[in-house]
Structure 1
Amino acid sequence: MKISLGPIHYYWSKENIEQFYRSAEHWPVDIVYLGETVCAKRRVMRRTDWLDIAARLTDAGKAVVLSTLALPEANSDLLQLEKICANAHYMVEANDMSAVHLLAGRAPFVAGPHINCYNSETLSLLADLGATRWVPPVELPATTIVMLQNTRPEAMETEVFAHGHLPLSFSARCFTARADNVGKDECEQRCIGDPEGRALFTQEHERLFTINGIQLQSGIPCNLLNEMASMSAMGIDIARISPQLTATESVIQAFHATLNGKYISPEGYDPPVCNGYWHGEPGMKFMSVQGD
């Protein structure tokens, strides 16, 4: 099984992004996803900046994939999407059907976790259009993924979101702007002040969600580290780690050690975690692996 580093979901400074990927060049990950997937107003990185990082990661032996927006809203978004899909050097992760349309028949692509693929018919359709890898929606339980594994098209890889705050939904409204009582058009990219999202609590002070611009995430991160053996037995090809500003390297090292028959606890990263969706339970639950 390989380890991938998913796209950054948050709005970081250019300096933080470049330093993060400088470090990632030396991490034991096989695949790195690059690009903005949440909000087109986050313009601290230009397309050429992403391509410069992609070239360095490629030189470091990583397979690079360019990720697309999950919710393109304007003609300018479509123009950027067309440029990404037309690139001749890197595979593309399609995160909505407009990207699938642009990529169909042109080049192999990844069907990202925001594509609503819940059955074998949809998976076969995506394969016919050119998908050679799919990332199941984060709410799919292992039992459903097993069934799809048994009928997936030949040469189709499966990549599972294995660690990080789960991307649950997107909205045309901006949750961060609304929380600060400003309009979306006057947001001034204020989500750059929340480099790991903003916690949303219930009246009982339980962390329920994480708001990240127009994206809503799980309140606590998903962690499938203890499920790696079962994932391998299912024929899962890739485990995806979602970047956080801190402790990402430690998480990757823990997954890498597990794949090599060892177990280490991620240093500096021990918050409450969840894995409920994987077990067919409410997503915020944590289900212990039998024998732990």
Structure 2
Amino acid sequence: MKFSLGANQYYWPAKQTQEFYQQAANSNADIIYLGETVCSKRRELRLKDWLELAKQLASSNKQIVLSTMALLEAPSEVSLLKKYCDNGDFIIEANDVGAIEYCRQNKVEFVCGQAINAYNSPTLKRLIAMGMQRWVTPVELGRDWIKNILSEMDELNLRDKFEVETQAYGHLPLAYSARCFTARSENRSKNDCELCCIKYPSGRIANSQDQQELFVLNGIQTMSGFCYNLINDVSGMQDVVDIIRISPQAEDTFAILDDFIAQHKSPTYKKLANNHSNGYWHKIAGMQTI
């Protein structure tokens, strides 16, 4: 079992981001994802900064993956995507079908990101033929669904052609929109957002009318209101998942990572916080907990 730090979903100042990845270099993560996946207006770090950071982190004997945007809306974003894919040193996490096609055309190996709707074995078979080396499962897929797909891939003699990675901690990215909900929450338009999401290092909670934490607004991204936490399901993941992903948090990311690693070595029951859930993994409503 390996452990990864997914690409940071939030918008942090450059100094905070640099300090986070300095800690990541000394962490127990096996794989680190880098890059902006949510909004191209977030430019505290640009491509050259991400590449420089990637080279620094690669010296710490970790696999470095460059993550691409999940929603492309302008020619400039497509141009930037191509530069990511043409970096020549690091594998790509493709979060858009256009990125996958560009990688296929240029024979660049890629990770199929969780923003890609890959839900069955025919899709995975096609992605493998296009160069996929790893499948990050869509957030709503549970253990049984994943296990059934992998059984079908076994029958096709393709299971050994790719790795399986699942997010096990963090607010789940549920949807992307052309509109910016964080800006709207401040009565701003997207074009006049003033990059206000940098004020919310963990996103902005949107409660229901009965004050339930329903969603987290993160720019154009809508995330789950509850934090997904599979700490008690690590032992049950070992026969279906190769890599456990921890999504970066504004606080305690590396303590959480170490807790998951310890749980892998010696499972013990952990009481989940009231605003944590594991429903999707158990094929029930995502906000529920077993």
TM-score w.r.t. the length of structure 1 is 0.94
Following superposition, the deviation at residue 149 of structure 1 comes to: 1.3
Matched, 1:280 2:286: no
CA contact (8 A) 1:65 1:93 kept: yes
d(CA) in 2 for partners of 1:271, 1:59: 39
- Aligned alpha-carbon RMSD (Å): 1.5
Aligned equivalent of 1:227: 233
The answer on whether the counterparts of 1:58 and 1:64 sit within 8 Å (CA) in structure 2 is: yes
- 1:52 matched to which residue of 2? 52
Aligned partner (choices 185, 189, 196) of residue 191 of structure 2 = 185
The aligned counterpart of 2:123 is 122
Q: CA deviation at 1:270?
A: 4.8
Q: Does 1:158 align with 2:164?
A: yes
CA displacement at 1:151 relative to structure 2: 2.4
Whether 2:255 is the aligned partner of 1:250: answer yes
What SS does the corresponding residue of 1:166 show, helix, strand or coil? strand
Task: State the Cα distance separating 1:101 from its structure 2 match.
Answer: 0.7
Which residue identity is paired with 1:82? K
Q: Report the counterpart of residue 218 of structure 2 in structure 1.
A: 212
- What SS does the corresponding residue of 1:69 show, helix, strand or coil? coil
* Contact 2:232–2:270 (CA under 8 A) maintained in structure 1: no
Alignment partner, residue 176 of structure 1? 182
Structure 1 residue 252, shift from structure 2 partner: 0.4
Q: Percent identity?
A: 43
After superposition, give the CA deviation of every residue in 1:46-88 in whole Å (9 maximum; x if it has no partner): 1111111111111111100000000011011001000001111
- Offset at residue 264 of structure 1 (A): 8.9
Q: d(CA) in 2 for partners of 1:91 and 1:271?
A: 37
Q: Secondary structure, in 3 states, of the residue corresponding to 1:24?
A: helix
Task: Identify the residue that residue 239 of structure 1 maps to in structure 2.
Answer: 244
1:254–1:263 Cα contact (<8 Å) kept = no
Give the conservation status (yes or no) of the 8 Å contact 2:116–2:138: yes
SS of equivalent to 2:276: coil
**Partner Cα distance (2:162, 2:239) in 1:** 17
Secondary structure (helix, strand or coil) at the match of 1:233 reads coil
1:5 aligns with 2:5: yes
Contact 1:67 1:94 in 2 (8 A): yes
Do residues 64 (structure 1) and 67 (structure 2) align?
no
Where does residue 290 of structure 1 map in the other structure?
Answer: none
The residue type paired with residue 243 of structure 2 is I
Amino acid at match of 1:69: M
Distance 1:148 1:33 in 2: 25
Query: How far apart in 2 are the matches of 1:182 and 1:130?
Result: 41
- Which has the larger displacement, 43-52 or 67-76? 43-52
Q: For residues 159-197 of structure 1, give each alpha carbon's deviation from its aligned partner in whole angstroms, at most 9, with x where no partner exists.
A: 011100000000000001111111100001000000000
Q: For residues 170 and 56 of structure 1, what CA distance do their matches in structure 2 show?
A: 31
Kindly tell me: are residues 49 and 265 of structure 1, through their superposed partners in 2, closer, same or farther at Cα, counting changes over 3 Å?
farther
CA contact (8 A) 1:163 1:223 kept: yes
Distance 1:150 1:53 in 2: 38
Give the distance between the partners of 1:256 and 1:242, measured in 2 at CA: 14
CA offsets 1:199-234 (integer angstroms, 9 cap, x no match):
000111111000000000000110011111111023
Residues 254 and 264 in structure 1, CA contact (< 8 A), matched pair in contact too: no
Shift of 1:262: 5.2
